[in-house]
Structure 1
Amino acid sequence: MENAFEPGDPVLDLAARSKQFNGGVQSEVETVEHWIPRTEQTKIDDIVSGRTHGQYHLLIGEKGTGKSSALIEAMRKIDGEGVAMFDAHADLEIFRVRLGKALDFEYHEDNIGSLFSIRGPRDASALLDIERAFNKLEKVALKRRKSGKNPLVLIINSAHLLRDDEDGKDLLELIQQRAEQWAAASLATVVFNSDDYWVYERLKQNATRMEIHPIKDLPKDQALQALRSYRVRYRGQDPPEELLERVYDLVGGRLTYLNRIAKRDDMVDMAEKICEAEKTWFLNQCWILGEEMDDDVMDQQKYASAAMVLAKALVDKEKEMGDAAYDPQKGHRLPEIPLFKARQIMTRADFIQDYDHRNLFTIDSKANVRADSVPMQMAFRQICAEPGFDKYLEETLDRISAIESLGRTRELTIKDLWNQGKYEITTKDKKGNVSGSIEMQTIPGTQDDDDEKDDEGA
């Protein structure tokens, strides 16, 4: 396992290097695609290098903001010495294998005890194997501390891919317990990298030494600088300031968008395609069906209508902000609503986590809800501005209410009340005391009495 923390790392070889031919000679050239200097980089450098210890860390932000790139850049500066990084996975067995690969730790996979009906060391759960790997890592960290070196760093990328179920919670709890112990003893530093808010909620319950690092879109000046740098690298062009600002107005400071746009001939056209793709994604996930919808789709329409209600609330909030929604110097300022208020607006508390996971809305580290990106907020604005949208949304909500009301209604049919027969229904409270009664009987002169008279005449 000590070899896993020697200089050099497979992650750096995969993400930060590419090969090209120069005159028939193959050479390696540094190509960190997303790397743009940002204010959080110095702090991340200190964490990854081991200069900052005594805490464990959670990097949280939307997909494509540059979290992984910042970590890889920090690793590159120290050539990966003392650092191990791997991607999480929802399946615990795959997580176990990836952890073992990152730590250069074998789980006795070559055991042949089963051939002789002997229980081998791998006859256990994935969680138990992960615990064994952490035990070994702890020994390596203790040996490293005695030699006077900086603490080890273990980076778990894409932590949001863990399932929010019992197995996922058990795994996250196991890792957090170790992270707390190692941080207290300055043995090792665990870094979680997540796109989703639920990981923060789960860790916060038992956290005492956790530090949060929100990674957001670049502000306007840095975004323009990043787009210009990408364009020079990919196309050898220095675009005019007006063109850069036009692109920023469309997509904001999301690094992954800027990187894709800079590679295309027509940057504005690519930016508009990204905006259209985000709008299509939202409509495919959450479009409403109006008052003609069938009752079989009500569950899906509850999900969709709640998203539309929240999108409309964000658009209304943007209108209230007025000119404050866009600062000429800092750029876009997306409207946001506190998480508890967003749940109140939707009248549902369970949908918002899935919205965050599907990159429709995002929840930041301060529990504020907003559109996942500038193009997504633009999609909200366009959808809510369509003629008749408010009435269409209201009709959908009324239809859902009508279906729910019908589901809660029960029809009781009573028949065969001959000779002025009657039924008496008594209601009782939870203690068994009679709280009321209803008596039902035929009324003289009704069809039943007329039928009875006809029978007597016959």
Structure 2
Amino acid sequence: MARPRRLPRLYAAPPSGRQTQPPRILKGRPRASPPSPRQYVPWARDSDSSSWRDSSFKLLEASLTAFGSVVILGLAGYSYHVYYKSLVLTKMENAFAVGYSSLEKAALSRHDVNAEHVDEEWIARKEQAMIDGIVDGTAQGHYWLLTGEKGTGKTSMLLHSMKKIHGEGIAMLEVHGDLEIFRLRLGKALDYEFHEDYIGSLFSFKGPRDTTPLLDIERAFNQMEKIALKRKKKLGRPLVLILNGVHLLRDNEDGRNLLELVQQRAELWAASKLVTVVLNSNDYWITERLTHEATRLRVMPVHDLSKDDAISCMKKVRENLSFEEVPNSVLEHVYSKIGGRLRFLNHVANSSNMIEACDTICAQEKRWFLNQCWILGEEMDPAGEEQQDTCTGAMVLAKELVKKQQAMQRDGIAGSGLPQIPLHQAREIMTKYDWIQRHDHLNIFAIDSNSMVQAGSVAMQNAFRDVCTQEGFDEHLQATLDRLDQLESLGRTREITFKDFQNEGEYQAIVEGGKKDSGGVIVSLKAVPKKAD
């Protein structure tokens, strides 16, 4: 029986989904030509469909991978952003916790050495109870300005109140005239980095929000409000922000803008009882600037001790330090020399020779006054006119205060304190309104919260008396004033020089107008013929 004829097998079937191999030729078989494009191949359509599905799957896989990466990156960035904001608030909240910052520790240690006897052992100041209420959060609804002369104990009382509650709920910083330095000190007091350590800032560009330090200060206050709201809800007490040395701000546009920003925030916080702002200043211009827009401001003047309090304080500290009982006559002499200024009393009470220490302080105050305000007389150089204007104004005002003190002594009211002159009269005496502000900053004169001008201290008033009563002072002062009038007249004089004369060098001047005429003076020149001899 014959076997059936088998058809020749030319190619091996291509595996599905894989690239086909070149055709394998069988031995002993004739080579067949490859199929033409138009020839129907049963597995070609399946191969094209499989390739399209494979490309679509790869595209979808790549898209899902990219989308997943973006989602993970976004979640990571958002988580870091939330964590960073939470960390900022946590750090700032810790800044108001129990304890002190490095600045407060340094200030406490410094004032403990110099003013411990003054605040604790000598006398309980009447202002201390009110400051205690402000610092511990009992006194709410206002913001405060502590004002007074240098060395009256304002900062010491604040630190003493802070020490009682261990700095809980308080942030304190020293003010500086440079806004950048103020911004850094505020960030240090609040433990706030102003987003400078935020990693997201590496991928951002500077925009209109990166302007002046005032914007960063505003952001810090915004963050502090959140802490204040949380504390108010939890404890019912406000935070306390103490700005020490506000008078160090410059009286220019930057300083006024910063003071305005602080006052606006203080008004809002006082109304909502979130934060109590305490401003400590030695100069009057801060009071004058804040009073214009103030509604919830309370001014607390801190002045020298009275005579009885100062004498009892010195007597007590001498008994504690050297077990010495000082006679009242010596203590009264000390008070007549230096008054009730705490920084002077502390120095004298801790000295072995109290009278000699008083003389040293008075000599230092007198030298300071002369170095800043001495007048140069009739031989003054024209270049010193502007500086001597302020000096003569100070000398004239000092002379008026000495005259008023002598009148008080004649009337038997010398024990009522230093002689005072209203601020508007002092400006009239000095002939310019802003000169008194310069001398107030130099602690030569002092302006209290009631706009009354007096000497910077009892020792400075004694320096006024020594200088203004010395022989020949009135003549020297008058010679200086005359020289200033001469220089001012020369400054107003204009000299006209004519050159290149024509018509044999003769001109005729015609003056029109004058004092009686409402118009100005007109001078016209014309050449005239020379007269014959």
TM-score computed with the length of structure 2 as normaliser: 0.75
Q: Judge conservation of contact 1:247–1:268 (CA < 8 Å) in 2.
A: yes
Partner of 1:316: 403
Kindly indicate whether the alpha-carbon contact (under 8 Å) linking 1:274 and 1:375 is maintained by their aligned counterparts in 2. yes
Q: Aligned partners of 1:363, 1:118: CA distance in 2, in Å? A: 49
Q: Is the 8 A contact 2:115 2:156 kept in 1?
A: no
User: Which residue of 306, 323, 340 maps to 2:424?
Assistant: 340
Q: Which residue of 1 aligns with 2:106?
A: 14
Cα distance per residue 1:155-214 (max 9 Å; x no partner): 111010111111111111111000000001111110100000011111111101000101
CA distance in 1, matches of 2:287, 2:497: 54
The runs of 4+ residues in structure 1 deviating greater than 6 Å are 28-31, 112-117, 432-436, 439-444
Report the residue type matching 2:282 in the other structure.
D
Identify the residue that residue 94 of structure 2 maps to in structure 1: 3
- Give runs of aligned pairs for residues 267-282 of structure 1, distance below 5 A: 267-282=354-369
Q: Report which of the two structures shows the higher radius of gyration computed on alpha carbons.
A: 2
Answer yes or no: is the 8 Å Cα contact 2:135–2:162 preserved in 1. Answer: yes
Summarize deviations over 1:282-309 as a string: whole Å, max 9, x none: 0001101111111111111111111100
2:216 alignment counterpart? 129
Higher helix share: 2
CA distance in 1, matches of 2:520, 2:224: 68
Range moving further from structure 2, 408-417 or 200-209:
408-417
* 1:371 equivalenced with 2:462 (yes/no): no
**What's 1:198 paired with?**
285
Give the structure 2 partner of residue 424 of structure 1. Answer: 510
Matched, 1:93 2:180: yes
AA at the equivalent of 1:3: N
| Compared CA separation, residues 246 and 423, structure 1 to 2 (3 A) | closer
Q: In structure 1, how many angstroms separate the alpha carbons of the residues matched to 2:434 and 2:146? A: 24
Partner amino acid for 1:379? Answer: A
CA gap 1:148/1:245 in 2 versus in 1, 3 angstroms: same
The structural deviation recorded for 1:33 is: 4.9
Distance 1:44 1:417 in 2: 86
Contact 1:338–1:367 (8 Å) recurs in 2: yes
Aligned amino acid, residue 82 of structure 1: G
Partner of 2:337: 250
- Please state how far the C-alpha of 1:42 moved relative to its aligned partner: 1.2
SS in 2 for 1:147: helix
- Aligned to 2:433, the other structure's residue is in SS state coil
Structure 2: distance between partners of 1:437 and 1:296:
33
Structure 1 stretch displaced more, 418-427 or 121-130: 418-427
- The one-letter code of the counterpart of 1:394 is Q
Aligned to 1:326: 414
- CA distance in 2 between counterparts of 1:334 and 1:39 reads 21
Alpha-carbon displacement from aligned partner over 1:218-277 (angstroms, at most 9, x marks no partner): 001111222234434544544332222221111000000011112211111011110010
1:12–1:75 CA contact under 8 A, matched in 2: no
**Which residue of 2 is the match for residue 153 of structure 1?**
240
Q: How many residues align?
A: 433
Aligned counterparts of 1:224 and 1:151: Cα–Cα separation in 2: 39
State whether residues 17 and 31 of structure 1, in contact with CA within 8 Å, keep that contact through their aligned partners in structure 2: no
What amino acid sits opposite 2:167 in the alignment?
Answer: G
User: Unpaired segments of 5 or more residues in structure 2?
Assistant: 1-91
Question: Is 2:147 aligned against 1:60?
Answer: yes
Would you say the 8 A contact 1:107–1:122 is kept in 2? no
Measured after TM superposition, the shift of residue 117 of structure 1 is 7.2
Q: SS at 2:407's partner residue?
A: helix
The one-character-per-residue Cα deviations of 1:40-87 (angstroms, maximum 9, x if unpaired) are 111111111111111101000000000011111111222222121111
Q: What are the within-5 Å matches in structure 2 for residues 51-450 of structure 1? A: 51-111=138-198, 118-119=205-206, 123-322=210-409, 323-327=411-415, 333-413=417-497, 418=504, 422-426=508-512, 449=531
User: Matched residues in 1 for 2:429 and 2:511: separation?
Assistant: 41
| Cα distance in 2, alignment partners of residues 247 and 370 from structure 1 | 20
For the 8 Å contact 1:417–1:441, the answer to whether it is kept is no
Rounded Cα–Cα distance in structure 1 between residues aligned with 2:466 and 2:505: 68
The structural deviation recorded for 1:423 is 3.6
Q: Deviations over 1:14-38 (max 9, x none)?
A: 34448xxxxxxxxx99973541411
Query: Hey, what's the Cα distance between the residues in 1 that align with 2:125 and 2:363?
Result: 28
More strand by share: 1
Distance of 2:136 and 2:507 partners within structure 1? 89
Whole-angstrom CA distance in 1 between matches of 2:309 and 2:234: 41
2:402 alignment partner AA: V
**C-alpha RMSD of the superposition:** 2.9
> So what's the TM-score if we normalise by structure 1?
0.87
Structure 1 unaligned regions, length at least 5? 19-27, 454-458
Superposed displacement of residue 416, structure 1: 5.5
- Alpha-carbon separation, structure 2, partners of 1:125 and 1:419: 64
Which residue type is aligned with residue 14 of structure 1?
A
Question: Identity, % of aligned pairs?
Answer: 51
1:425 shift after superposition: 4.6
> What SS does the corresponding residue of 1:40 show, helix, strand or coil?
helix
* Worse overlay, 414-423 or 229-238: 414-423
CA distance in 2, matches of 1:120, 1:212: 41
